[in-house]
Structure 1
């Protein structure tokens, strides 16, 4: 019998790998879906993010995301009193597509 857990994607994580007044870097890995939404929203409330003038979303290790998480990212960036400049770096095509469907591409610069 095959191991049922072997086919599951790796654990999802969202970490703030760097943050100061100039820039915040958020690193994503695994899968961001409804199960990860609460964790993502909590990370996005971090005071260090509100102080940064720009955010870099490092997504090269992110396998996929869903619309709810993409909308959470969009809300966090656009609801700030002074919205941060947003750069999405290394996102796979399927992740880029989901971010585009949520409208994140309107407020972000995408780097391959």
Structure 2
């Protein structure tokens, strides 16, 4: 499996594009995404497999921290394209959901679990 990755502090990827096809992409997040990792996150979100996906499944159960710059980068990557990707956020902790909502994710995302 080829994966786009945004590095986590312990060397494990904070974001892995696990699969993409048929208009859907599954992005798995883990660890922490803070302002120091926004560049790596933007690079991972530039994965060519995401360009054709109109639905992004964001599996965030293992993401413990998401800073606003990273939340904005995620939303920007999903919405500055034509057509914008619909985001389905699954398993995000309260603080992660809060950062996404503060960045404006309610306009383009559904939240579950």
Aligned-residue CA RMSD (Å): 1.6
User: What is aligned with 1:87?
Assistant: 88
Larger radius of gyration: 1
SS in 1 for 2:22: coil
Provide the TM-score with structure 1 as the length reference.
Answer: 0.87
User: Partner residue of 1:34?
Assistant: 35
Q: What's the CA shift for 1:77?
A: 1.0
More strand by share: 2
Give the aligned partner of residue 74 of structure 1. Answer: 75
User: Unmatched 5+ residue regions in structure 2?
Assistant: 1-8
State whether residues 21 and 53 of structure 1, in contact with CA within 8 Å, keep that contact through their aligned partners in structure 2.
no
Q: Residues 24-74 of structure 1, C-alpha deviation per residue, up to 9 Å, x if partnerless?
A: 011000000012111110011111101012101100000011000000011
Structure 1 distance, partners of 2:64, 2:104, is 19
Q: Number of residues paired by the alignment?
A: 105
Instruction: Note the C-alpha offset of 1:22.
Output: 2.1
Q: Any runs of at least 4 consecutive aligned residues in structure 1 with deviations exceeding 4 A, and if so which?
A: 8-12
* Structure 1 unaligned blocks of 5 or more: 1-7
Distance 2:86 2:57 in 1: 8
- Per the alignment, residue 4 of structure 1 pairs with none
Question: What are the Cα deviations for residues 3-36 of structure 1, in whole angstroms up to 9, with x where unaligned?
Answer: xxxxx88855110011113210110000000121
The CA distance in 2 between the partners of 1:20 and 1:10, in whole Å, is 27
Question: Are 1:55 and 2:56 counterparts?
Answer: yes
